[in-house]
Amino acid sequence: MKKQEVRAIIEKVGIVPVIRASSAEEARFAADCVCKGGVPIVEITMTVPEALDVIRELVKTMPDVLVGAGTVLSEEALRKCAAAGAQFLVTPGFNAPTVAAARELDLLIMVGALTPSEIMAASASGADFVKVFPCGSMGGPKYIQALRGPFPQIPLVPTGDVTLETAADYIRAGAAALGVGGEMIAKDALKARDGDALSKLAALFVDLVRDARKTSAKL
């Protein structure tokens, strides 16, 4: 899939589920539940045991799901993720060689940043999206709204403390998409293998993003 297509899917769906799990089996289970809930995107973090194998398997068995790699900390890690079939990469912070490698491979990369200076550096390096992390610690939706003033052209993806209560506010504040972790991939439900609960959480986020976008379009 070409980078432009990957970007279009992320922008359309507006949600990037961040899957952190204690085992490869848990990660696969979470990915399946999220998809059933209406989110055809998953980010498998490199903190998941056997993460590369999980990515490789999901790419093969879930062709209709966009599979990405998260918590990519170096160029070496990025190349391993790309070799496993990851269709997009996500970093927690800005690392120029890692961004350069993604551009070389023509892979979409979402680069972590927090301050205005970091956001400018990430964007200038060629980041396709800027992941504002940890956004909740900086004021949440109000911080995204403030950043949209000087950076209207940079697609911002708030991550960290994105909840059912704040999701719509983030979208109305101008977020291009949302990075959602534990609020969607709930630890208790995951541990209990409560697939219905996880799928329902994913569906709730889908509804919130859709409705918030409709509201924003009318303003």
- Say if residues 132 and 157 touch (Cβ distance below 8 Å): yes
Inform me whether the pLDDT recorded for 217 exceeds 90.
no
pLDDT over 70, % of the chain:
99
pLDDT tens track for 164-181: 999 999 999 999 999 999
Q: Give the pLDDT score at 187.
A: 94
Q: Are strands 156-158 and 129-132 parallel, antiparallel or unpaired?
A: parallel
pLDDT tens track for 12-25: 999 999 999 999 99
Residue 141 CB partners (closer than 8 Å, separation 6+):
158, 166, 169, 170, 172, 173
pLDDT tens track for 121-170: 999 999 999 999 999 999 999 999 999 999 999 999 999 989 999 999 99
Instruction: Give buried/exposed letters for 125-163 (b at 16+ CB in 10 A, else e).
Output: bebbbbbbbebbebebbebbbebeeebeebbbbbbbbbb
Distance CA 173, CA 158 (A): 10
pLDDT tens track for 184-208: 999 999 999 999 999 999 999 999 9
Q: Does domain 3-212 have CATH number 3.20.20.70?
A: yes
Q: Which residues are catalytic?
A: 43, 131
What pTM did the predictor assign? 0.96
